[in-house]
Amino acid sequence: MDSALIPKGVKRCSFFQFMGGLGVVSLVLLWGVYAMLLCWIKGLNQTNMNDYYGFALWIWADLGVIALGGGAFFTGLMKYVFGKDELKHIINFAVLIGFICYSSALLILAIDVGQPLRSWYIFWHANVHSMLTEVAFCLSCYFAVLTIEYIPLILENRQIDKVPFWHNLSHNMHTYMAVFAATGAFLSFFHQGSLGGVAGVMFGRPFAFREHLFIWPWTFFLFTWSAASYGPCFTIWLVRITEKITGKKLVRETAIQLLAKLAGWMMFTYIIAKIIDTIYWATVTVPGMGFTLADFYTNNAFYGYWILFAELVLCGVVPALMLVTPKIRQNPIGLFIAVTLGVIGVSLNRWVMVLQALAIPVMSFDQWVLYIPSWQEVATTILPVAYGVILVMISYRYLPVFPNEAELNPLAPETPPVVEAQTEEDGETQDAPEPEMAPAEA
Amino acid sequence: MKQTGDNGKAQRFGMVIDLDKCTGCGSCMVACQAENNVPFREDESDKTLSITWMRIYRLTNGKSFPDAEICYLPRPCQHCDGLHEGHSPCVSVCPATATDYDGLTGIVSQIYTRCFGCRYCMAACPYHARHFNWWDPVWPKGMEQYLNPDISVRMRGIVEKCGFCFQRYQKALEKAHMQGRRELEEHEYQTSCTQACPAGAIVFGDLRNPHHKVHQLAQPDFKKHGRPKNPMAFRLLEELGTNTKIYYLSSKKWVREAGHNPSVMDKPEEHH
């Protein structure tokens, strides 16, 4: 039914099978939309947040998806600025994932604030000293950049590309893509960093607070660094999952290996910096503020030293070593385990910087407060996941997201009956032969 | 037009709360709630959702009878100055300048019509002095007639907190201006909790004015970010550099040590 929209040279499931899958995911999406409407109509009393947990699951999800979406800016930076041309085989997917992550983050923020209609005050009454202001500005600008990066991919749809205007627009956008990639990397440095700064500047919260370099706490640099390290892991992780679901090899292994290697070395250097930061924080910063490390990891039912070990060692040192070791990286299972651990690691880091920071009592006569999200919070957090799956499904079906797909999965030579079938298509065969899906520039 | 205190300097309004006198009766909380139109719900059993601009904590020395001791600690907004003026934990982080530091009075304000409810200020405040309106305020029938017309009620989805009854300051200042005066007498501007305390445990005034009782009781050393010279006085979490304007007095060492960590605070003095 929709074969005219599907890129040439690739095979897709039947339209009804596709719609069936879309329908199932849409049900999850609708569940999330219902919860979202409840939050907007009835207010944030629909959540289990309270005056101790002003930031909770949503802010974690926000920080998480922005870190995981870091694969887009890092891949773009490596390809366009540092000339790692091999990454052109994965850049489209990285941009798509980045677009999904950042649009999800904006959606979650729109649900999270108490007065969404006043959100523009952050720009109008901007407090230039607030890290959140920097986040808002850079995040919005970078989302615009990601949209610009995603548009050429849409324009490469078989039917849209036939229109000369769209074809030329797409071509011209490709010409300037390096400028957008560089802008994206610049903006990402600041918003990833300022998200780290959100926690690091809170000098009333010794768990989150870090020493500064000029106006930037160490978390500023660590967040950017970790997004550049773990974001590509998420891109690779999703490539592998998509390959598993479609049963096809979608990206050239050389591109995956190069990205994994770069991510591995970034992670290796990041985790060294993070360990140094943790040691300095635990031995100098925290005692200087009248606390001990034990104050943050004992006397409560959930947060123990295990979480520190899991973040730094199990999901930090281990995947970093796995990715920088060629033998393990080149092993499909080894690579998948490493990127999975990486994805968990950065999610854990964002979790502790948001939720553990607020769980810890600061006044000696105060107490630990733990929190379990309400179903509305869970549903609205799953909502962007469902939205992401839908966008990947649609993009994969109709757009050249994986430029090597046709080459890596050659279709069986067409037999005469197929030729007959082609003539039945509504006028398509009258057109000049279209090129098969070729590597895109972005 | 520069408004100054009667000693010719910008004022720093603050409070001294004598914990030896506080009985934990809660009058200050009730007075605060009535004065500032603080909303409440039918079920207030979950204190993490209660809006309490003034909240009383119950401290114990952890010992059993007969050595057990109890102390009640009223906690309003601490109106932090930070280590450089106006660098309060909350003011510095608010993205929309919805909470502000007034350089003339030292009061940390909350602009309800500008707050869009991101709650970053709540996360940054270690005293839990900031409260979010999880619900729209609903007043029992007829009670809306008792609301204070000098302060707006707040809507759902924004943060609110103690403002040192700023509306009283504005009223007192207007009255003084009508009488041709630029400065206020100590008694002309007092918070509702101060006036309601039956034990006289709360004292309010200009910390920079040597004639004001708060100055005499706390003896703030402004060369050391307002650190109290009175050995019986302390400020909550002084070691974090919040530089609060609420001073507590207690004759009991365990109470003072529950409020701050003197071992950390003493270090800079030894070095300098």
Q: Which of B97, B112, B158 to mutate to test the interface with A (most CBs of A within 10 A)?
A: B97
Interface of B with A in 62-81 (CB under 8 A): 73
Nearest CA in chain A to B127: A363
Tell me the shortest Cα–Cα distance from B104 to chain A, in angstroms.
20
Tell me the shortest Cα–Cα distance from A322 to chain B, in angstroms.
37
Both tokens assigned to B254: 């365990």
Cβ atoms within 10 Å, residue A181:
24
Rg (CA), chain A: 23
Is residue B248 within 8 angstroms of chain A, CB to CB?
A: no
Instruction: Mark yes or no for CB contact B132/A363 under 8 Å.
Output: no
Residue B185, pLDDT score: 93
Cα A401 to chain centroid distance, Å, stands at 16
Is residue B41 within 8 angstroms of chain A, CB to CB?
A: no
CA atoms within 13 A on the CB side of B59: 24
Question: Would you say domain B13-85+163-271 falls under CATH 3.10.20.600?
Answer: no
Chain B hits for A362, CB-CB cut-off 8 Å, are 126-127, 237, 240
Give the number of beta-carbon pairs within 8 Å between A and B.
Answer: 160
Is residue B93 within 8 angstroms of chain A, CB to CB?
A: yes
Q: How confident is the model at residue B9 (pLDDT cuts 50, 70, 90)?
A: low
SS3 B125: coil
Instruction: Mark yes or no for CB contact B117/A121 under 8 Å.
Output: no
| pLDDT by position in tens, chain A (length 442) | 788 999 988 999 999 999 999 999 999 999 999 999 999 999 999 999 999 999 999 999 999 999 999 999 999 999 999 999 999 999 999 999 999 999 999 999 999 999 999 999 999 999 999 999 999 998 899 999 999 999 999 999 999 999 999 999 999 998 888 899 899 988 988 889 999 999 999 999 999 999 998 889 999 999 999 999 999 999 999 999 999 999 999 999 999 999 999 999 999 999 999 999 999 999 999 999 999 999 999 999 999 999 999 999 999 999 999 999 999 999 999 999 999 999 999 999 999 999 999 999 999 999 999 999 999 999 999 999 999 999 999 999 999 999 999 999 888 776 555 444 444 444 444 444 444 444 444 3
Residue B4, pLDDT score: 54
Give kind and range of the element (H or E) at residue B222: none
* Crossing angle between the packed helical segments A177-200 and A131-155, to the nearest 10 degrees: 150
Instruction: Mark yes or no for CB contact B240/A203 under 8 Å.
Output: yes
Q: How confident is the model at residue B5 (pLDDT cuts 50, 70, 90)?
A: low
Chain B hits for A115, CB-CB cut-off 8 Å, are 115-117, 155, 157-158
**What are the tens digits of pLDDT across the range B137-147?**
999 999 999 99
Selecting from A206, A362, A369 the residue whose C-beta is nearest the C-beta of B48 gives A369
Instruction: Mark yes or no for CB contact B132/A44 under 8 Å.
Output: yes
**What are the tens digits of pLDDT across the range A178-230?**
899 899 988 988 889 999 999 999 999 999 999 998 889 999 999 999 999 99
Both tokens assigned to A361: 């009592």
Predicted TM-score (pTM) of this structure: 0.91
Contact between B120 and B173 under an 8 Å Cβ cutoff? The reply is: no
Residue B266, pLDDT score: 58
- Per DSSP, the residues of B2-51 read ----TTSS---EEEEEETTT-----HHHHHHHHHTT----S----TTT--
What is the pLDDT averaged over residues B175-182? 92
Nearest CA in chain B to A53: B123
Nearest CA in chain B to A353: B123
**What are the tens digits of pLDDT across the range B205-258?**
999 999 999 999 999 999 999 999 999 999 999 999 999 999 999 999 999 999
Identify the CA nearest to A395 among candidates A427, A434, A347, A440: A440
Interface of B with A in 45-64 (CB under 8 A): 46, 48-50, 57, 59
Q: How confident is the model at residue B183 (pLDDT cuts 50, 70, 90)?
A: confident
**C-alpha angle with apex B215: B214 to B220, nearest 5 degrees?**
120
Nearest CA in chain A to B126: A204
Query: What percentage of chain B reaches a pLDDT higher than 70?
Result: 94
Is residue B262 within 8 angstroms of chain A, CB to CB?
A: no
Residue B62: DSSP 8-state = S
Rounded Cα gap, residues A11 and A45, in angstroms = 48
Residue type, A441: E
User: Residue A60 burial by CB count (10 A; 0-12/13-18/19+): exposed, middle or buried?
Assistant: buried
Chain A hits for B127, CB-CB cut-off 8 Å, are 204, 362-363
Residue B54, pLDDT score: 97
B249 DSSP β-pair partners = B18, B233
Q: How confident is the model at residue B264 (pLDDT cuts 50, 70, 90)?
A: confident
Cα A218 to chain centroid distance, Å, stands at 22
Architecture of domain A3-401: Up-down Bundle (1.20)
Contact between B158 and B116 under an 8 Å Cβ cutoff? The reply is: yes
What is the pLDDT averaged over residues B153-168? 96
The residue extents of the domains of chain A are 3-401
Contacts for A399-402 with beta carbons within 8 Å, 24 or more apart?
A399/A7, A399/A92, A399/A153, A399/A154, A399/A156, A399/A157, A400/A7, A400/A92, A400/A153, A400/A156, A400/A437, A400/A438, A400/A440, A401/A92, A401/A93, A401/A96, A401/A153, A402/A89, A402/A92, A402/A93, A402/A250, A402/A251
Q: Which of A352, A365, A377 to mutate to test the interface with B (most CBs of B within 10 A)?
A: A365
More confident residue, B10 or A121: A121
| B246: phi then psi, degrees, rounded to nearest 5 | -110, 120
Instruction: Mark yes or no for CB contact A51/B48 under 8 Å.
Output: yes
